[in-house]
């Protein structure tokens, strides 16, 4: 029995007013990103994808928080997947073929964002070195990524990547196979993020955030139990890390 709208509303009744819950991680993350956005900003969307979030049934206002095009000087999309060239929310697209050197000019970015990308990065030190290279002094980088100690992350790290697509499609029915990528979780703890980003020249704040039990949509009972468990989850085991950093 999959989760019905009735079950979701019982757990989070405020969704009836605007289409998002009080603990929605995307609203929490992108609200703060928007607070850093300026009309003259050049924005880099790291792992921009094809704009898959627009396929989701969600609040139009919630989705609008993730669209910067038209509200800043320029939005550049960066992705290993050439399908990113079709993302309508990018002013331009750059294909990432060399993980050690992004096709982005030095000190050209005011604000860089990534949404559930860091867990897929095989070499996080190189990732942050490139962030430091392309971001202007005083510029920002904002990252949303799973916490390594969250129960879903622990299970994912125990299961070979070749099975992730099949399992994800069973627990998240709106997730397409092409949107599932290998995970490494090599920089997905608060301590590791702070250490690596400070080494790369950033002042950084990491916020642990607990959202809805998104991976429990396969069952109404599991979803209700997950909603209770998430409310009681101690911070070190929270589902998500919201990372905000400024280049020195």
* pLDDT of res. 65: 95
Instruction: Please check whether residue 114 lies inside any domain of the structure.
Output: yes
What distance, in Å, lies between the first and last C-alpha atoms of the chain? 51
Q: What is the largest CA-CA distance in the chain?
A: 52
Instruction: Please check whether residue 201 lies inside any domain of the structure.
Output: yes
Cβ neighbourhood burial of 136 (10 Å; 0-12, 13-18, 19+) = middle
Instruction: Please check whether residue 160 lies inside any domain of the structure.
Output: no
Token pair listed for 34: 């928007």
Instruction: State pLDDT tens for residues 43-101.
Output: 999 999 998 665 556 688 999 999 999 999 999 999 999 999 999 999 999 999 999 99
Instruction: Please check whether residue 177 lies inside any domain of the structure.
Output: no
Instruction: Please check whether residue 25 lies inside any domain of the structure.
Output: yes
Query: Whole domain around residue 87: which residue ranges?
Result: 19-146+184-213+234-247
Confidence of residue 1 (pLDDT cuts 50, 70, 90): low
User: 137 in helix, strand or coil?
Assistant: strand
Say which CATH number the domain at 50 has.
Answer: 3.40.50.150
Confidence of residue 215 (pLDDT cuts 50, 70, 90): confident
Instruction: Please check whether residue 125 lies inside any domain of the structure.
Output: yes
Instruction: Please indicate, yes or no, whether the overall pTM of this predicted structure exceeds 0.75.
Output: yes
Q: Contact 140/36 with Cβ under 8 angstroms?
A: yes
Q: How far apart (Å, rounded) are the C-alpha atoms in residues 160 and 155?
A: 10
Instruction: State pLDDT tens for residues 97-122.
Output: 999 999 999 999 999 999 999 999 99
Instruction: Please check whether residue 227 lies inside any domain of the structure.
Output: no
Query: Exposure pattern of 224-247 as b/e (b: 16+ CB <10 Å)?
Result: bebbeebeebeeebbbbbbbbbbb
Comparing 1-10, 96-105, 192-201, 228-237, which segment has the lowest mean pLDDT?
Answer: 1-10
| Sequential DSSP letters for 211-233 | ---GGGTT-HHHHHHHHHHHHH-
Cβ neighbourhood burial of 64 (10 Å; 0-12, 13-18, 19+) = exposed
* pLDDT of res. 56: 58
Q: Residue 59: which residues within 8 A CB-CB, separation 6 or more?
A: 18, 19, 20
* pLDDT of res. 169: 47
* pLDDT of res. 163: 54
How many folded domains does the chain comprise?
1
Confidence of residue 174 (pLDDT cuts 50, 70, 90): low
Tokens 């959202």 -> residue: 211
Instruction: Please check whether residue 91 lies inside any domain of the structure.
Output: yes
Q: Which ranges in the chain belong to alpha helices (H)?
A: 5-11, 25-36, 60-64, 124-134, 151-158, 164-171, 190-199, 220-232
């Amino acid at each position: 029995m999959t989760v019905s709208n009735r079950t979701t509303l019982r757990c989070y009744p405020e969704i009836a007013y605007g289409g998002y819950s009080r603990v929605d991680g995307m609203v929490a993350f992108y609200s703060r990103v928007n607070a850093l956005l300026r009309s003259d900003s050049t924005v880099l969307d790291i792992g921009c994808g094809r704009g898959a979030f627009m396929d989701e049934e969600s609040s139009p206002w919630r989705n609008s928080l993730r669209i910067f095009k038209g509200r800043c000087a320029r939005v550049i999309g960066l992705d290993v997947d050439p399908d990113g060239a079709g993302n309508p929310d990018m002013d331009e697209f750059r294909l990432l073929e060399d993980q050690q050197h992004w096709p982005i000019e030095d000190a050209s970015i005011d604000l860089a964002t990534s949404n559930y990308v860091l867990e897929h990065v095989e070499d996080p030190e190189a990732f942050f070195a490139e962030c430091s290279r392309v971001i202007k002094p005083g510029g920002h980088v904002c990252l949303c990524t799973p916490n390594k100690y969250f129960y879903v992350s622990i299970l994912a790290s125990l299961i070979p990547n070749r099975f992730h697509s099949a399992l994800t499609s069973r627990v998240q029915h709106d997730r397409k196979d092409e949107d599932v990528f290998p995970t490494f979780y090599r920089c997905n703890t608060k301590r590791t993020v702070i250490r690596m980003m400070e080494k790369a020249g950033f002042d950084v704040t990491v916020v642990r955030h607990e959202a809805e039990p998104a991976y429990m949509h396969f069952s109404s009972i599991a979803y209700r139990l997950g909603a209770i468990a998430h409310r009681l989850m101690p911070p070190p085991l929270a589902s998500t890390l919201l990372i905000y950093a400024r280049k020195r």
